[in-house]
């Protein structure tokens, strides 16, 4: 089982994978002891194995305690017999005596192979976890290496670590081909039974934030703060930004000269629309801005975190958006329930409300509900 080539292979693994020989040797030592005891169960006392890569050797030893009177021959040796091996032995010492196990070569070889593969797997997993422990929530470049019916597998970082993009993290309509270069958001690093798994995303709102950080020095420096992001990947994103410095135009900083900064982000997102919103501590003012690109006439609070936004008649469809998307994203961005009304519908509601103060409450309520 033992050969010079075996230890040379360990040295190659150390050089190639950066895994110390000592890790393999200690694991192999424990596994061989366990395998030997299992093979000779009931017929073997304590054993120890010493592995010396410098001498390309693996040696087996029985381990017995030196005693004045032997009661268990498997675990004990008389002091007199021990001193035949080495004169300095005395009662209580552990006595190591080398032996050559019979018919153990095949099992030892199998054990060595299993230990090396397992330790290689475990160490690579641990290295992945260590390398990516500080990469969670970060933006990384990657190369697509494999695409199957559900998942996209990408190669990350200098260590060529595999990342997995699950179906929910893939942008609808975005096609991924082998060798495509992408930027992805690291969602999580899991230590699974089959090894470390890096979960990446193209749909996370964090991807948009990190892309803007790369393009806008003011965000990276903390001069401009991203307060909130709502996103429907592949279609539209709304990002609320703010600066405590009155000299800084937060929106202008994100848009860039002639739109260069926002356009760079949009290009990375495959043409996804991005609305950059000026955040306001006044929630009603924030709602009005969040409904951009539609102009808002007024916003009125009607209940706790619930408001009506009134827009010009010709801007109603713009404010609501296709399938309600613009209003939906504005609601997510602000954390408020927003009911968007046209100016004429709002005026009619007000008339009905005033009429309701008289005798026609029921009719007014029905028309109001129908208008909604």
Looking at residue 128, its pLDDT comes to 66
- Distance, in Å, from the CA atom of 235 to the CA atom of 244, rounded to the nearest integer, reads 30
Q: How many CB atoms lie within 10 A of CB 324?
A: 11
CA angle at residue 280 from 277 to 285, to 5 degrees?
A: 90
Looking at residue 205, its pLDDT comes to 96
The string of DSSP letters for 191-220 reads EETTEEEEEEESS-HHHHHHHHHHH-HHHH
Looking at residue 200, its pLDDT comes to 96
- Distance, in Å, from the CA atom of 366 to the CA atom of 355, rounded to the nearest integer, reads 13
Looking at residue 168, its pLDDT comes to 97
- Class in CATH terms, 204-279: alpha beta
Specify the domain boundaries for CATH 3.30.1480.10 within the chain: 4-130
Specify the domain boundaries for CATH 3.30.300.20 within the chain: 204-279, 283-372
The whole-chain average pLDDT of the chain stands at: 86
- Distance, in Å, from the CA atom of 232 to the CA atom of 1, rounded to the nearest integer, reads 60
- Which of 155, 319, 325, 330 is CA-nearest to residue 234? 325
Pick the CATH number of 135-201 from 2.40.50.140, 3.40.190.170, 3.30.1450.10, 2.40.160.40: 2.40.50.140
Q: Give Cα separations from 162 to 146, 154, 187, 194 (angstroms).
A: 10, 6, 14, 13
Q: How many CB atoms lie within 10 A of CB 99?
A: 10
- Class in CATH terms, 283-372: alpha beta
What per-residue string of b and e applies to 158-191 under the rule 16 or more CB within 10 Å gives b? eeebbbbbeeebbbeebebeeeeebbbbbbebee
Structure tokens at 236: 């539209």
Give the CATH architecture of domain 4-130. Answer: 2-Layer Sandwich (3.30)
Q: In the 8-state DSSP scheme, what is residue 289?
A: H
Structure tokens at 315: 């801007």
Q: Please list the rounded mean pLDDT of every run of 10 residues in the chain (372 residues).
A: 70 76 83 80 73 85 92 91 93 91 76 78 71 83 93 82 92 94 91 71 97 96 96 97 94 96 96 96 97 96 94 96 96 97 91 66 33 32
Looking at residue 361, its pLDDT comes to 42
């Amino acid at each position: 089982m033992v050969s010079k080539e075996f230890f040379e292979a360990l040295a190659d693994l150390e050089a190639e994978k950066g895994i110390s020989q000592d890790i393999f040797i200690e694991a192999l030592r424990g596994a061989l002891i366990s395998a030997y005891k299992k093979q000779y169960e009931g017929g073997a006392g304590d054993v120890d194995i010493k592995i010396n890569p410098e001498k390309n050797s693996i040696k087996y030893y029985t381990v017995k305690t030196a005693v004045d009177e032997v009661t268990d021959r498997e675990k004990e040796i008389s002091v007199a017999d021990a001193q035949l091996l080495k004169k300095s032995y005395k009662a209580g010492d552990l006595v190591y005596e080398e032996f050559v196990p019979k018919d153990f070569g095949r099992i030892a070889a199998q054990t060595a192979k299993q230990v090396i593969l397992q330790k290689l797997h475990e160490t690579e997993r641990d290295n992945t976890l260590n390398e990516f422990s500080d990469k969670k929530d970060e933006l990384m470049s990657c190369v697509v290496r494999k695409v199957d019916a559900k998942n996209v597998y990408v190669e990350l970082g200098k260590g060529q670590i595999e990342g997995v993009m699950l179906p929910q993290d893939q942008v609808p309509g975005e096609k991924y081909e082998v060798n495509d270069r992408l930027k992805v958001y690291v969602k999580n690093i899991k230590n699974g039974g089959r090894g470390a798994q890096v979960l990446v995303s193209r749909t996370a709102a964090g991807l948009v934030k990190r892309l803007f950080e790369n393009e806008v020095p003011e965000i990276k420096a903390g001069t401009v703060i991203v307060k909130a992001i709502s996103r429907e990947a592949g279609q539209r994103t709304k990002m609320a930004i703010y600066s405590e410095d009155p000299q800084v135009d937060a929106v202008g900083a994100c848009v860039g000269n002639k739109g260069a900064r926002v356009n760079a982000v949009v290009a990375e997102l495959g043409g996804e629309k991005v609305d950059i919103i000026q955040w306001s501590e006044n929630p009603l003012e924030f709602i009005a801005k969040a409904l951009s690109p539609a102009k808002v006439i007024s916003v009125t609070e009607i209940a706790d975190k619930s408001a009506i936004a009134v827009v010009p008649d010709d801007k109603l469809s713009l404010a609501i958006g296709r399938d309600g998307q613009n209003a939906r994203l504005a609601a997510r961005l602000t954390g408020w329930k927003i009911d968007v009304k046209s100016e004429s519908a709002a005026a009619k509601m007000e008339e009905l409300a005033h009429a309701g103060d008289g005798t026609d409450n029921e009719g007014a309520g029905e028309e109001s509900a129908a208008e909604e």
